[in-house]
Amino acid sequence: MKMHERIRSYIEASGLKLNFVAEKSGINPKRFYRLINGQSPLSIEEYEAICHGLSVDAGYFFKNKFLETKNEQKVI
């Protein structure tokens, strides 16, 4: 799953509105929609701002991916 998909999934599962997260993140809503829909690349600064707006650690959206990869390597 791509990063923007992970973030969007988290937002939707949390019952938050995209406009609310954009505002909390300090990102222009039009830009935020492009980011969250995968239409624009997500910069590190924007990623950090979104994490801050969601009140999650910057490593949150990486954890499951690394664990899946680690588990796959053990299968060999």
Q: Which domain holds residue 61?
A: 3-75
The total number of structural domains in the chain stands at 1
CATH (domain of 30):
1.10.260.40
- Supply the pLDDT for residue 45: 96
| Structure tokens belonging to residue 36 | 């969250």
| Structure tokens belonging to residue 24 | 């909390």
Tens of pLDDT, residues 13-56: 999 999 999 999 999 999 999 999 999 999 999 999 999 999 99
Task: Check if the beta carbon of residue 52 is closer than 8 Å to that of residue 9.
Answer: no
